[in-house]
Structure 1
Amino acid sequence: MRTRRPLAVAHRGDPWAAVENTLDAVRRAVSAGADAIEVDLRCTADGVVVLHHDDDLRRLWGRPESVAALTLAELRDIAPAVPTLREALEAADRIPLLLDTGDPVVATAAHAELGRLGAVAMFCGAAEAMAAVRARDERITLFLSWYGELPPSEGVLGAVRPQYFNPEHRFLSEEAVAHWHARDVLVSCWTVDAADRRGELLAWGVDAIIGNDLNGVVKSCAERAERT
Protein backbone atom coordinates (compact mmCIF):
# COMPACT_ATOMS: atom_id res chain seq x y z
CA MET A 1 0.00 0.00 0.00
CA ARG A 2 1.88 3.09 -1.25
CA THR A 3 0.81 6.56 -2.25
CA ARG A 4 1.70 7.77 -5.76
CA ARG A 5 2.74 11.15 -4.44
CA PRO A 6 3.87 12.03 -0.92
CA LEU A 7 1.19 14.01 0.88
CA ALA A 8 2.00 17.58 1.90
CA VAL A 9 0.11 18.04 5.17
CA ALA A 10 -0.38 21.48 6.70
CA HIS A 11 0.31 21.58 10.44
CA ARG A 12 -2.56 23.42 12.17
CA GLY A 13 -3.44 25.07 8.88
CA ASP A 14 -0.75 27.44 7.67
CA PRO A 15 0.64 28.68 11.01
CA TRP A 16 3.40 30.79 9.46
CA ALA A 17 0.83 32.83 7.56
CA ALA A 18 -2.03 33.00 10.09
CA VAL A 19 -2.90 32.06 13.67
CA GLU A 20 -2.88 28.28 13.92
CA ASN A 21 -6.16 26.35 13.95
CA THR A 22 -8.21 29.30 12.69
CA LEU A 23 -10.32 29.53 9.56
CA ASP A 24 -7.77 31.91 8.09
CA ALA A 25 -5.03 29.31 8.62
CA VAL A 26 -7.20 26.59 7.04
CA ARG A 27 -8.03 28.72 3.99
CA ARG A 28 -4.40 29.71 3.53
CA ALA A 29 -3.41 26.04 3.63
CA VAL A 30 -5.91 25.33 0.87
CA SER A 31 -4.48 28.19 -1.21
CA ALA A 32 -0.92 26.98 -0.62
CA GLY A 33 -1.71 23.59 -2.16
CA ALA A 34 -1.84 21.33 0.90
CA ASP A 35 -3.01 17.78 0.24
CA ALA A 36 -4.47 17.58 3.77
CA ILE A 37 -4.78 19.94 6.73
CA GLU A 38 -4.02 18.77 10.25
CA VAL A 39 -6.03 20.54 12.94
CA ASP A 40 -6.28 20.02 16.71
CA LEU A 41 -9.56 19.31 18.46
CA ARG A 42 -11.10 20.19 21.81
CA CYS A 43 -14.67 20.02 23.14
CA THR A 44 -16.45 22.90 24.84
CA ALA A 45 -18.47 22.48 28.02
CA ASP A 46 -21.63 22.09 25.94
CA GLY A 47 -20.09 19.41 23.74
CA VAL A 48 -19.19 21.37 20.62
CA VAL A 49 -16.04 20.24 18.83
CA VAL A 50 -13.73 23.19 18.13
CA LEU A 51 -10.22 23.71 16.77
CA HIS A 52 -7.64 24.44 19.46
CA HIS A 53 -4.43 22.75 20.54
CA ASP A 54 -3.80 23.74 24.17
CA ASP A 55 -5.94 22.98 27.20
CA ASP A 56 -6.35 26.70 27.86
CA LEU A 57 -6.34 29.96 25.94
CA ARG A 58 -3.14 31.52 27.34
CA ARG A 59 -0.66 30.99 24.51
CA LEU A 60 -2.80 32.19 21.62
CA TRP A 61 -5.43 34.40 23.19
CA GLY A 62 -3.92 35.58 26.49
CA ARG A 63 -6.66 34.18 28.71
CA PRO A 64 -6.39 31.53 31.46
CA GLU A 65 -9.70 29.77 30.82
CA SER A 66 -9.82 26.13 29.74
CA VAL A 67 -11.69 25.37 26.54
CA ALA A 68 -13.47 22.49 28.25
CA ALA A 69 -14.81 24.83 30.97
CA LEU A 70 -16.48 27.20 28.50
CA THR A 71 -19.63 26.88 26.45
CA LEU A 72 -19.30 27.73 22.80
CA ALA A 73 -20.99 31.08 23.42
CA GLU A 74 -18.55 31.88 26.24
CA LEU A 75 -15.60 30.80 24.10
CA ARG A 76 -16.78 33.03 21.27
CA ASP A 77 -16.93 36.00 23.64
CA ILE A 78 -13.30 35.45 24.66
CA ALA A 79 -11.70 34.07 21.48
CA PRO A 80 -14.06 34.58 18.54
CA ALA A 81 -11.50 33.28 16.03
CA VAL A 82 -11.64 29.74 17.45
CA PRO A 83 -13.75 27.85 14.88
CA THR A 84 -15.99 24.86 15.22
CA LEU A 85 -15.18 21.63 13.40
CA ARG A 86 -18.16 22.26 11.15
CA GLU A 87 -16.83 25.68 10.13
CA ALA A 88 -13.38 24.24 9.47
CA LEU A 89 -14.78 21.51 7.24
CA GLU A 90 -16.58 24.15 5.20
CA ALA A 91 -13.44 26.30 4.96
CA ALA A 92 -11.32 23.35 3.82
CA ASP A 93 -13.71 22.73 0.94
CA ARG A 94 -12.51 19.55 -0.82
CA ILE A 95 -9.17 19.29 1.01
CA PRO A 96 -9.40 16.62 3.73
CA LEU A 97 -8.88 17.55 7.36
CA LEU A 98 -6.64 15.41 9.54
CA LEU A 99 -8.28 15.64 12.96
CA ASP A 100 -5.75 15.42 15.79
CA THR A 101 -6.67 14.44 19.33
CA GLY A 102 -5.41 12.14 22.04
CA ASP A 103 -8.71 12.16 23.91
CA PRO A 104 -11.13 9.31 23.12
CA VAL A 105 -14.13 11.42 24.19
CA VAL A 106 -13.19 14.22 21.81
CA ALA A 107 -12.37 11.74 19.05
CA THR A 108 -15.75 10.02 19.26
CA ALA A 109 -17.56 13.38 19.45
CA ALA A 110 -15.75 14.49 16.30
CA HIS A 111 -16.57 11.24 14.54
CA ALA A 112 -20.23 11.65 15.48
CA GLU A 113 -20.16 15.21 14.10
CA LEU A 114 -18.79 13.93 10.80
CA GLY A 115 -21.68 11.51 10.65
CA ARG A 116 -24.26 14.23 11.32
CA LEU A 117 -22.74 16.42 8.61
CA GLY A 118 -22.19 13.64 6.11
CA ALA A 119 -18.55 14.76 5.99
CA VAL A 120 -15.34 12.82 5.47
CA ALA A 121 -12.08 13.40 7.34
CA MET A 122 -9.08 11.49 8.66
CA PHE A 123 -7.85 11.22 12.26
CA CYS A 124 -4.44 11.26 13.90
CA GLY A 125 -3.43 10.98 17.52
CA ALA A 126 -2.54 8.72 20.39
CA ALA A 127 -3.49 5.06 20.42
CA GLU A 128 -6.42 5.22 22.84
CA ALA A 129 -8.20 7.90 20.84
CA MET A 130 -7.51 6.20 17.51
CA ALA A 131 -8.75 2.86 18.86
CA ALA A 132 -12.00 4.56 19.92
CA VAL A 133 -12.52 5.86 16.38
CA ARG A 134 -11.61 2.53 14.82
CA ALA A 135 -14.18 0.78 17.03
CA ARG A 136 -16.83 3.02 15.46
CA ASP A 137 -15.59 2.98 11.89
CA GLU A 138 -13.68 0.22 10.14
CA ARG A 139 -13.04 2.19 6.95
CA ILE A 140 -11.86 5.58 8.19
CA THR A 141 -8.22 6.56 7.63
CA LEU A 142 -6.21 6.71 10.85
CA PHE A 143 -2.69 8.00 11.46
CA LEU A 144 -1.29 6.42 14.63
CA SER A 145 0.86 9.15 16.15
CA TRP A 146 3.90 7.92 18.06
CA TYR A 147 6.28 9.60 20.45
CA GLY A 148 9.31 7.44 21.07
CA GLU A 149 11.88 5.00 19.73
CA LEU A 150 10.10 1.80 20.80
CA PRO A 151 7.47 0.69 18.27
CA PRO A 152 3.80 0.18 19.18
CA SER A 153 2.84 -3.23 20.48
CA GLU A 154 0.90 -5.71 18.40
CA GLY A 155 -2.04 -5.13 20.72
CA VAL A 156 -2.06 -1.42 19.91
CA LEU A 157 -1.72 -2.09 16.20
CA GLY A 158 -4.55 -4.60 16.35
CA ALA A 159 -6.86 -2.16 18.11
CA VAL A 160 -6.08 0.82 15.86
CA ARG A 161 -5.36 -0.89 12.53
CA PRO A 162 -3.82 2.33 11.20
CA GLN A 163 -3.31 3.07 7.55
CA TYR A 164 -0.41 5.36 8.56
CA PHE A 165 2.26 5.09 11.23
CA ASN A 166 2.92 8.70 12.26
CA PRO A 167 5.94 9.24 14.55
CA GLU A 168 7.89 12.37 15.28
CA HIS A 169 10.39 12.54 12.43
CA ARG A 170 13.51 12.26 14.60
CA PHE A 171 12.51 8.69 15.50
CA LEU A 172 12.39 7.56 11.86
CA SER A 173 15.12 5.77 9.95
CA GLU A 174 15.32 4.30 6.47
CA GLU A 175 15.05 0.84 8.01
CA ALA A 176 11.95 1.82 9.97
CA VAL A 177 10.23 3.13 6.83
CA ALA A 178 11.01 -0.12 5.04
CA HIS A 179 9.69 -2.10 8.02
CA TRP A 180 6.32 -0.37 7.98
CA HIS A 181 5.99 -0.62 4.23
CA ALA A 182 6.67 -4.36 4.49
CA ARG A 183 3.70 -4.50 6.88
CA ASP A 184 1.56 -2.67 4.30
CA VAL A 185 1.41 0.45 6.50
CA LEU A 186 2.12 3.90 5.10
CA VAL A 187 4.49 6.24 6.93
CA SER A 188 3.82 9.84 7.91
CA CYS A 189 5.87 12.06 10.23
CA TRP A 190 5.82 15.42 12.01
CA THR A 191 6.83 18.25 12.31
CA VAL A 192 9.41 18.69 9.51
CA ASP A 193 10.49 22.23 8.65
CA ALA A 194 14.08 21.75 7.46
CA ALA A 195 14.40 21.22 3.70
CA ASP A 196 17.35 18.84 3.98
CA ARG A 197 15.50 16.65 6.47
CA ARG A 198 12.41 16.60 4.25
CA GLY A 199 14.60 15.48 1.37
CA GLU A 200 16.12 12.68 3.41
CA LEU A 201 12.76 11.42 4.65
CA LEU A 202 11.21 11.53 1.19
CA ALA A 203 14.21 9.67 -0.26
CA TRP A 204 13.53 6.93 2.28
CA GLY A 205 9.98 6.67 0.92
CA VAL A 206 7.97 8.51 3.59
CA ASP A 207 4.39 8.87 2.35
CA ALA A 208 3.32 12.06 4.14
CA ILE A 209 5.11 15.03 5.66
CA ILE A 210 3.42 17.27 8.25
CA GLY A 211 5.02 20.69 8.59
CA ASN A 212 4.69 24.34 9.52
CA ASP A 213 6.71 25.47 6.49
CA LEU A 214 3.83 24.64 4.19
CA ASN A 215 5.27 26.14 1.04
CA GLY A 216 8.44 24.14 1.64
CA VAL A 217 6.55 20.91 2.31
CA VAL A 218 4.43 21.31 -0.83
CA LYS A 219 7.54 22.01 -2.90
CA SER A 220 9.51 19.07 -1.46
CA CYS A 221 6.67 16.61 -2.01
CA ALA A 222 6.09 17.83 -5.57
CA GLU A 223 9.80 17.57 -6.41
CA ARG A 224 9.94 14.05 -5.00
CA ALA A 225 6.92 13.02 -7.07
CA GLU A 226 8.60 14.33 -10.23
CA ARG A 227 11.65 12.16 -9.58
CA THR A 228 9.70 8.92 -9.07
Structure 2
Amino acid sequence: MSPEDHYFSPAGPRVLAHRGLALEAPENTLLAFAHALAHGVDYLETDVHASADGVAVVAHDPDLSRVLGRPERVGDLTAAELGSLDLGDGQHMPTLAEALDAFPDARFNIDLKAAAAIPSAVEMISSLRAERRVLLTSFSERRRRAALALLPAVATSASGPVFAGALLAATVRGGPAVRRLLRGIQAVQIPERALGLSTVTPARLRQYHAAGVEVHVWTINDVDAMHRLLDLGVDGIVTDRADLAVDAVRSRP
Protein backbone atom coordinates (compact mmCIF):
# COMPACT_ATOMS: atom_id res chain seq x y z
CA MET A 1 0.00 0.00 0.00
CA SER A 2 1.44 3.39 -0.95
CA PRO A 3 1.37 6.37 1.43
CA GLU A 4 -1.16 8.03 -0.86
CA ASP A 5 -3.47 5.01 -0.56
CA HIS A 6 -3.11 5.01 3.21
CA TYR A 7 -3.82 8.73 3.52
CA PHE A 8 -7.10 8.44 1.63
CA SER A 9 -8.23 5.13 3.11
CA PRO A 10 -10.98 4.33 3.86
CA ALA A 11 -13.21 6.09 1.38
CA GLY A 12 -14.76 9.45 2.31
CA PRO A 13 -16.45 11.77 2.59
CA ARG A 14 -13.85 13.33 4.85
CA VAL A 15 -13.93 16.17 7.34
CA LEU A 16 -10.75 18.25 7.49
CA ALA A 17 -10.61 20.40 10.61
CA HIS A 18 -9.38 23.79 9.41
CA ARG A 19 -6.69 24.84 11.93
CA GLY A 20 -8.29 22.40 14.35
CA LEU A 21 -11.53 23.22 16.15
CA ALA A 22 -11.10 26.70 17.56
CA LEU A 23 -14.42 27.24 19.33
CA GLU A 24 -12.87 26.94 22.79
CA ALA A 25 -9.20 26.99 21.92
CA PRO A 26 -6.84 29.18 19.88
CA GLU A 27 -6.51 28.05 16.27
CA ASN A 28 -3.59 25.88 15.20
CA THR A 29 -2.77 24.80 18.74
CA LEU A 30 -2.54 21.37 20.28
CA LEU A 31 -5.77 22.07 22.17
CA ALA A 32 -7.64 23.00 19.00
CA PHE A 33 -6.39 19.81 17.35
CA ALA A 34 -7.39 17.74 20.36
CA HIS A 35 -10.90 19.22 20.32
CA ALA A 36 -11.29 18.36 16.63
CA LEU A 37 -10.15 14.80 17.16
CA ALA A 38 -12.48 14.42 20.14
CA HIS A 39 -15.38 15.16 17.80
CA GLY A 40 -14.38 12.26 15.55
CA VAL A 41 -12.24 14.04 12.97
CA ASP A 42 -9.40 12.09 11.36
CA TYR A 43 -7.85 14.95 9.35
CA LEU A 44 -6.24 18.09 10.74
CA GLU A 45 -5.66 20.91 8.28
CA THR A 46 -2.84 23.21 9.33
CA ASP A 47 -0.08 25.53 8.14
CA VAL A 48 3.63 25.96 8.76
CA HIS A 49 6.03 28.90 8.71
CA ALA A 50 9.70 28.95 9.64
CA SER A 51 11.05 30.48 12.83
CA ALA A 52 14.18 32.65 12.85
CA ASP A 53 16.24 29.51 13.50
CA GLY A 54 14.62 27.60 10.64
CA VAL A 55 12.22 25.43 12.63
CA ALA A 56 8.85 24.55 11.08
CA VAL A 57 6.20 25.98 13.40
CA VAL A 58 2.43 25.67 13.17
CA ALA A 59 1.06 29.07 12.18
CA HIS A 60 -1.20 30.40 9.45
CA ASP A 61 -0.18 34.06 9.33
CA PRO A 62 3.32 35.36 8.58
CA ASP A 63 3.12 37.69 11.57
CA LEU A 64 1.63 37.84 15.06
CA SER A 65 -0.70 40.79 14.56
CA ARG A 66 -3.98 38.90 14.27
CA VAL A 67 -3.40 36.24 16.91
CA LEU A 68 -1.51 38.33 19.48
CA GLY A 69 -1.70 41.98 18.43
CA ARG A 70 2.09 42.08 18.07
CA PRO A 71 4.01 43.40 15.06
CA GLU A 72 6.72 40.74 14.82
CA ARG A 73 6.84 38.26 11.99
CA VAL A 74 7.00 34.57 12.81
CA GLY A 75 10.39 34.50 11.13
CA ASP A 76 11.71 37.19 13.46
CA LEU A 77 11.57 34.95 16.55
CA THR A 78 13.21 31.63 17.36
CA ALA A 79 11.18 28.50 17.89
CA ALA A 80 11.84 28.77 21.63
CA GLU A 81 10.64 32.37 21.68
CA LEU A 82 7.51 31.49 19.70
CA GLY A 83 6.88 28.55 21.99
CA SER A 84 6.96 30.82 25.01
CA LEU A 85 4.17 33.08 23.74
CA ASP A 86 0.78 32.61 25.41
CA LEU A 87 -1.86 32.29 22.69
CA GLY A 88 -4.61 31.85 25.29
CA ASP A 89 -5.98 28.89 27.24
CA GLY A 90 -2.43 27.99 28.16
CA GLN A 91 -1.54 27.28 24.55
CA HIS A 92 1.64 28.07 22.65
CA MET A 93 2.71 27.93 19.02
CA PRO A 94 3.79 24.31 18.52
CA THR A 95 6.44 23.07 16.18
CA LEU A 96 5.28 20.72 13.47
CA ALA A 97 7.13 17.91 15.25
CA GLU A 98 5.20 18.59 18.45
CA ALA A 99 1.88 18.36 16.61
CA LEU A 100 2.78 15.19 14.72
CA ASP A 101 4.11 13.57 17.86
CA ALA A 102 1.17 14.60 20.05
CA PHE A 103 -1.39 13.01 17.71
CA PRO A 104 0.25 9.93 16.18
CA ASP A 105 -3.00 8.56 14.75
CA ALA A 106 -4.17 11.80 13.12
CA ARG A 107 -3.62 12.61 9.47
CA PHE A 108 -2.24 16.06 8.75
CA ASN A 109 -2.98 18.26 5.75
CA ILE A 110 -0.07 20.72 5.80
CA ASP A 111 0.05 23.97 3.86
CA LEU A 112 3.65 25.08 3.43
CA LYS A 113 3.40 28.85 3.82
CA ALA A 114 7.11 29.61 3.45
CA ALA A 115 9.99 28.06 1.53
CA ALA A 116 12.19 28.41 4.60
CA ALA A 117 9.96 25.93 6.45
CA ILE A 118 10.46 23.12 3.94
CA PRO A 119 13.78 21.61 5.15
CA SER A 120 12.66 21.47 8.77
CA ALA A 121 9.17 20.18 7.91
CA VAL A 122 10.64 17.42 5.75
CA GLU A 123 13.11 16.44 8.50
CA MET A 124 10.36 16.34 11.13
CA ILE A 125 8.03 14.24 8.98
CA SER A 126 10.84 11.84 8.11
CA SER A 127 12.22 11.51 11.63
CA LEU A 128 8.76 10.73 13.01
CA ARG A 129 8.06 8.35 10.12
CA ALA A 130 4.85 10.25 9.43
CA GLU A 131 4.96 10.14 5.63
CA ARG A 132 1.92 7.89 5.33
CA ARG A 133 -0.29 10.24 7.34
CA VAL A 134 0.76 13.54 5.81
CA LEU A 135 -0.40 15.49 2.78
CA LEU A 136 1.83 18.37 1.73
CA THR A 137 0.52 21.26 -0.30
CA SER A 138 1.04 24.95 -0.96
CA PHE A 139 -0.53 27.75 -2.92
CA SER A 140 2.93 28.02 -4.47
CA GLU A 141 3.79 25.34 -7.03
CA ARG A 142 7.48 25.99 -6.44
CA ARG A 143 7.14 25.24 -2.72
CA ARG A 144 4.98 22.19 -3.36
CA ARG A 145 7.47 20.73 -5.82
CA ALA A 146 10.43 21.49 -3.59
CA ALA A 147 8.84 19.59 -0.71
CA LEU A 148 7.75 16.66 -2.89
CA ALA A 149 11.26 16.35 -4.31
CA LEU A 150 12.42 15.59 -0.76
CA LEU A 151 9.40 13.49 0.25
CA PRO A 152 8.16 11.99 -3.02
CA ALA A 153 5.92 9.39 -1.40
CA VAL A 154 3.66 11.70 0.62
CA ALA A 155 0.22 12.63 -0.65
CA THR A 156 -0.21 16.05 -2.22
CA SER A 157 -2.93 18.37 -3.46
CA ALA A 158 -2.79 20.83 -6.31
CA SER A 159 -1.16 24.21 -5.84
CA GLY A 160 -3.03 27.35 -6.82
CA PRO A 161 -1.50 27.64 -10.31
CA VAL A 162 -2.00 23.95 -11.09
CA PHE A 163 -5.63 24.03 -10.06
CA ALA A 164 -6.23 27.24 -12.02
CA GLY A 165 -4.95 25.47 -15.11
CA ALA A 166 -7.10 22.42 -14.42
CA LEU A 167 -10.19 24.56 -13.88
CA LEU A 168 -9.68 26.37 -17.16
CA ALA A 169 -9.00 23.07 -18.90
CA ALA A 170 -12.20 21.63 -17.45
CA THR A 171 -14.06 24.64 -18.82
CA VAL A 172 -12.51 24.86 -22.27
CA ARG A 173 -10.49 21.82 -23.27
CA GLY A 174 -12.02 18.84 -21.49
CA GLY A 175 -10.98 15.69 -19.70
CA PRO A 176 -7.62 14.73 -21.25
CA ALA A 177 -6.11 18.13 -20.47
CA VAL A 178 -7.42 17.98 -16.90
CA ARG A 179 -5.92 14.53 -16.39
CA ARG A 180 -2.57 15.68 -17.77
CA LEU A 181 -2.44 18.73 -15.50
CA LEU A 182 -3.38 16.74 -12.38
CA ARG A 183 -1.06 13.80 -12.99
CA GLY A 184 0.81 12.89 -9.80
CA ILE A 185 -1.66 14.79 -7.61
CA GLN A 186 -4.15 13.09 -5.32
CA ALA A 187 -6.55 15.92 -4.43
CA VAL A 188 -7.76 19.37 -5.34
CA GLN A 189 -8.59 21.51 -2.31
CA ILE A 190 -10.58 24.46 -3.53
CA PRO A 191 -13.10 27.19 -2.80
CA GLU A 192 -16.51 27.01 -4.43
CA ARG A 193 -15.54 29.78 -6.84
CA ALA A 194 -12.24 30.69 -8.45
CA LEU A 195 -11.32 32.88 -11.42
CA GLY A 196 -14.97 33.96 -11.53
CA LEU A 197 -16.08 30.36 -12.15
CA SER A 198 -17.96 27.77 -10.11
CA THR A 199 -15.42 25.07 -9.31
CA VAL A 200 -17.71 22.23 -8.22
CA THR A 201 -20.38 21.86 -10.85
CA PRO A 202 -21.42 18.25 -11.58
CA ALA A 203 -19.56 18.31 -14.90
CA ARG A 204 -16.34 19.59 -13.35
CA LEU A 205 -16.55 17.11 -10.50
CA ARG A 206 -16.81 14.30 -13.04
CA GLN A 207 -13.68 15.58 -14.77
CA TYR A 208 -11.69 15.86 -11.53
CA HIS A 209 -12.77 12.38 -10.49
CA ALA A 210 -11.93 11.00 -13.91
CA ALA A 211 -8.44 12.41 -13.36
CA GLY A 212 -8.22 10.28 -10.21
CA VAL A 213 -8.25 13.09 -7.64
CA GLU A 214 -10.42 13.76 -4.63
CA VAL A 215 -12.23 17.08 -4.30
CA HIS A 216 -12.13 18.88 -0.94
CA VAL A 217 -13.94 22.22 -0.66
CA TRP A 218 -13.05 25.04 1.76
CA THR A 219 -13.95 26.73 4.03
CA ILE A 220 -17.50 25.45 4.61
CA ASN A 221 -19.10 26.23 7.98
CA ASP A 222 -22.81 26.14 7.10
CA VAL A 223 -24.57 22.79 7.50
CA ASP A 224 -26.87 23.30 4.52
CA ALA A 225 -23.86 24.06 2.34
CA MET A 226 -22.14 20.94 3.61
CA HIS A 227 -25.09 18.78 2.60
CA ARG A 228 -25.39 20.50 -0.78
CA LEU A 229 -21.74 19.80 -1.56
CA LEU A 230 -21.94 16.23 -0.29
CA ASP A 231 -24.99 15.70 -2.49
CA LEU A 232 -22.92 16.87 -5.46
CA GLY A 233 -20.31 14.23 -4.64
CA VAL A 234 -17.38 16.12 -3.12
CA ASP A 235 -14.97 13.95 -1.18
CA GLY A 236 -14.13 16.29 1.68
CA ILE A 237 -15.27 19.34 3.60
CA VAL A 238 -12.62 21.69 4.99
CA THR A 239 -14.26 23.53 7.86
CA ASP A 240 -13.85 25.63 10.97
CA ARG A 241 -16.86 23.74 12.36
CA ALA A 242 -15.62 20.18 12.42
CA ASP A 243 -18.22 19.41 15.07
CA LEU A 244 -21.06 20.26 12.67
CA ALA A 245 -19.40 18.63 9.68
CA VAL A 246 -18.86 15.31 11.44
CA ASP A 247 -22.55 15.25 12.39
CA ALA A 248 -23.52 16.14 8.82
CA VAL A 249 -21.46 13.30 7.37
CA ARG A 250 -22.70 10.79 9.93
CA SER A 251 -26.33 11.72 9.32
CA ARG A 252 -26.17 10.74 5.67
CA PRO A 253 -27.25 7.34 4.37
**TM-score with structure 2 setting the length:** 0.79
Corresponding residue number in structure 1 for 2:100: 89
Q: How many residues in Structure 1 have an aligned counterpart in Structure 2?
A: 225
What stretches of structure 1 of length at least 5 have no aligned partner?
A: none
In the TM superposition, what whole-angstrom CA distance separates every residue of 1:48-86 from its partner, at most 9, and x where no partner exists? 111111111111112111111111122234446111111
Select which of 57, 61, 70 maps to 1:50: 57
Q: How does 1:1-228 map to 2 (within 5 A)?
A: 4-79=11-86, 81-120=92-131, 121-126=134-139, 127-146=141-160, 150-152=164-166, 161-170=184-193, 171-224=199-252, 227=253
Q: Which moved more, 1:166-175 or 1:35-44?
A: 166-175
Identical positions, percent: 30
AA matched with 1:67: V
* 1:14–1:20 CA contact under 8 A, matched in 2: yes
Residues in 2 aligned to 1:35 and 1:71: alpha-carbon distance in whole angstroms: 30
* 1:5–1:222 CA contact under 8 A, matched in 2: no
Residues in 2 aligned to 1:111 and 1:174: alpha-carbon distance in whole angstroms: 36
Residues in 2 aligned to 1:147 and 1:99: alpha-carbon distance in whole angstroms: 18
Residues in 2 aligned to 1:92 and 1:24: alpha-carbon distance in whole angstroms: 11
Q: 1:167, CA displacement in angstroms?
A: 1.0
AA matched with 1:130: R
* 1:100–1:124 CA contact under 8 A, matched in 2: yes
What stretches of structure 2 of length at least 5 have no aligned partner?
A: 170-176, 194-198
Q: Give the superposed CA RMSD.
A: 2.7
* 1:145–1:167 CA contact under 8 A, matched in 2: no
Residues in 2 aligned to 1:149 and 1:49: alpha-carbon distance in whole angstroms: 26
Residues in 1 aligned to 2:31 and 2:146: alpha-carbon distance in whole angstroms: 30
Q: What secondary structure, in the 3-state scheme, does the structure 2 residue paired with 1:177 have?
A: helix
Residues in 1 aligned to 2:183 and 2:209: alpha-carbon distance in whole angstroms: 17
Q: 1:172, CA displacement in angstroms?
A: 2.2
Judging changes above 3 Å, is the alpha-carbon distance between structure 1 residues 67 and 201 closer, same or farther for their aligned structure 2 residues? same
Q: 1:123, CA displacement in angstroms?
A: 1.7
Q: 1:169, CA displacement in angstroms?
A: 2.6
Residues in 2 aligned to 1:148 and 1:163: alpha-carbon distance in whole angstroms: 12
Q: What secondary structure, in the 3-state scheme, does the structure 1 residue paired with 2:157 have?
A: strand
* 1:49–1:106 CA contact under 8 A, matched in 2: yes
* 2:50–2:114 CA contact under 8 A, matched in 1: no
Residues in 1 aligned to 2:12 and 2:106: alpha-carbon distance in whole angstroms: 15
Q: What secondary structure, in the 3-state scheme, does the structure 1 residue paired with 2:215 have?
A: strand
Judging changes above 3 Å, is the alpha-carbon distance between structure 1 residues 148 and 203 closer, same or farther for their aligned structure 2 residues? farther
* 1:41–1:49 CA contact under 8 A, matched in 2: yes
